[in-house]
């Protein structure tokens, strides 16, 4: 989305904590092109845009582009500096990142989306914005346009090729299950008992599972952002059921200090096949499919060969398993 010239000044970057660089200001960066990328390290849409943002930094930083990652946490654990620093290392992010835990920068931009990109010209005016995934060619063209306003003779590379086949413009995207939250603030359970806010409830296995609805079994504690097992001698396993429609499924989990536990995965009553397993799935000698939860992040559970609807079941014995949200991927080639 291109913005009319010299209408909106980019706000100052005040209120956050700079964690991998010295503090930067819009005033100091006047004369450069500035790209502010609002993201969260556990957000699947943000993660899928990072290969492009990182490559734009490599291509254009020396030519006058300054990229700033404004990390606005969607969940409480993403406010922890060590968690964000670990994500920066694992993703290989080299441009400056500011932690916007109090959303001061977010509100200055009147932003409402993860991810969101705002591009300002050499005079400090916002000239382009994009929300969500996609439009990578258009965004890079906007970067090149503004760099040429600084130096009409600048030598610029050819536009990036799509990182994934599913990023090709015009690719078909199915309608998938919506993002589903576990906490009682934004989530809804299919179990008739519903959430017990800030309390523990015993849930029976569902007799019928509706589409795009989370069901749990066993003893669970409900918080505003997450649910976690509350197992004792009477109940030693907790389960989650979800009938979803998508090609890929991800799950945001925080181990809450109990690192290294397993979450067993089954799809349509069977353990996953290696062909349908997500990046974080492991297998034992008996073919049991599971993930090992070691740190708070988004775990990649399912990557089916084909788009479709399936019944997913998760099982764990750990009371440290704080589960926040399911996310899904829809585009196919």
Q: From the CB of residue 227, how many other CB atoms can be counted at a distance below 10 Å?
A: 25
Task: Round the CA-based radius of gyration of the chain to a whole number and report it.
Answer: 22
In sequence order, the 6+-apart residues with CB closer than 8 A to the CB of 38 are 70, 72, 100, 106, 109, 111, 113, 114, 115, 116, 117
Answer for the pair 241, 311: CB distance below 8 angstroms, yes or no.
Answer: yes
In this structure, the dihedral spanned by the alpha carbons of residues 268, 273, 274 and 275, taken in order and rounded to 10 degrees, is: -80
CATH topology of domain 17-163: Glutaredoxin (3.40.30)
In degrees, rounded to 5, the angle at the alpha carbon of residue 65 between the alpha carbons of residues 61 and 68 is 95
User: What does the pLDDT look like over 31-82, one tens digit per residue?
Assistant: 999 999 999 999 999 999 999 999 999 999 999 999 999 999 999 999 999 9
For the chain, the domains span 17-163, 180-329
DSSP class of residue 22 equals -
pLDDT of res. 322: 98
Structure tokens at 24: 């930067």
Residue 268 scores a pLDDT above 70: yes
Give the length of the chain.
Answer: 333
User: What does the pLDDT look like over 178-209, one tens digit per residue?
Assistant: 999 999 999 999 999 999 999 999 999 999 99
User: What does the pLDDT look like over 276-305, one tens digit per residue?
Assistant: 999 999 999 999 999 999 999 999 999 999
DSSP class of residue 8 equals -
Structure tokens at 78: 């993403």
pLDDT band for 333, please (50, 70, 90 cuts). very low
pLDDT of res. 332: 53
Phi-psi sector, 249: left (phi>0), alpha (psi -120 to 50), beta: beta
Give 92: exposed, middle or buried? Use CB within 10 Å, 0-12, 13-18, 19+: exposed
pLDDT band for 235, please (50, 70, 90 cuts). confident
Answer for the pair 163, 50: CB distance below 8 angstroms, yes or no.
Answer: no
pLDDT of res. 233: 83
pLDDT band for 167, please (50, 70, 90 cuts). confident
Q: Position of tokens 């939250």?
A: 181
pLDDT band for 329, please (50, 70, 90 cuts). confident
Distance CA 158, CA 270 (A): 47
The class that CATH gives domain 180-329 is mainly beta
User: What does the pLDDT look like over 111-166, one tens digit per residue?
Assistant: 999 999 999 999 999 999 999 998 999 999 999 999 999 999 999 999 999 888 77
Tell which wins on pLDDT, 330 or 214.
Answer: 214
Q: How far apart are the first and last CA of the chain?
A: 26
pLDDT of res. 22: 94
Answer for the pair 147, 314: CB distance below 8 angstroms, yes or no.
Answer: no
In sequence order, the 6+-apart residues with CB closer than 8 A to the CB of 76 are 225
Helices (H), the chain: 44-60, 81-91, 104-108, 136-150
pLDDT of res. 3: 65
Answer for the pair 127, 3: CB distance below 8 angstroms, yes or no.
Answer: yes
User: What does the pLDDT look like over 246-266, one tens digit per residue?
Assistant: 999 999 999 988 889 999 999
Residue 6 scores a pLDDT above 70: no
In sequence order, the 6+-apart residues with CB closer than 8 A to the CB of 197 are 184, 222, 224
**CA 154 → CA 90, 125, 145, distances in Å?**
33, 21, 11
Provide the CA 255 distance to its chain's centre, in angstroms: 17
pLDDT of res. 105: 98
Mean pLDDT of the residues in the chain: 94
């Amino acid at each position: 989305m291109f913005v009319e010239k010299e209408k909106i000044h980019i706000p100052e970057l005040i209120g956050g904590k700079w964690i991998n660089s010295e503090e930067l200001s819009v005033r100091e960066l006047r004369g450069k092109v500035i790209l502010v990328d609002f993201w969260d390290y556990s957000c699947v849409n943000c993660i899928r845009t990072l290969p492009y943002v990182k490559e734009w930094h490599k291509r254009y930083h020396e030519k006058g582009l300054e990229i700033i990652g404004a990390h606005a946490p969607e969940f409480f654990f993403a406010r922890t500096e060590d968690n964000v620093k670990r994500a920066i290392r694992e993703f290989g992010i080299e441009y400056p990142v500011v932690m916007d835990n109090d959303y001061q920068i977010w509100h200055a931009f009147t932003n409402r989306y993860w991810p969101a990109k705002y591009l300002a010209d050499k005079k400090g005016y916002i000239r382009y914005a994009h929300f969500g995934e996609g439009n990578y060619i258009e965004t890079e063209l906007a970067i090149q346009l503004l760099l040429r306003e600084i130096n009409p003779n600048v030598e610029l590379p050819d536009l990036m090729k799509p990182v994934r086949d599913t990023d090709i413009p015009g690719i078909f995207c199915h309608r998938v299950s919506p993002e589903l939250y576990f906490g009682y603030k934004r989530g809804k359970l299919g179990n008739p008992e519903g959430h017990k806010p800030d309390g523990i409830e015993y849930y029976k296995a569902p007799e019928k599972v509706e589409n795009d609805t989370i069901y749990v079994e066993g003893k669970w504690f409900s918080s505003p952002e997450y649910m976690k097992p509350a197992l004792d001698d009477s109940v030693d396993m907790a389960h989650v059921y979800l009938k979803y429609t998508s090609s890929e499924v991800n799950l945001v989990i925080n181990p809450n200090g109990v690192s290294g536990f397993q979450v067993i995965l089954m799809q349509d009553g069977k353990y996953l096949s290696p062909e349908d397993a997500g990046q974080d799935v492991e297998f034992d000698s008996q073919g049991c499919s599971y993930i090992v939860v070691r740190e708070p992040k988004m775990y990649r559970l399912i990557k089916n060969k084909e788009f479709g609807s399936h019944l997913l079941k998760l099982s764990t014995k750990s009371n440290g398993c704080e589960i926040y949200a399911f996310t899904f991927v829809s585009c196919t080639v």
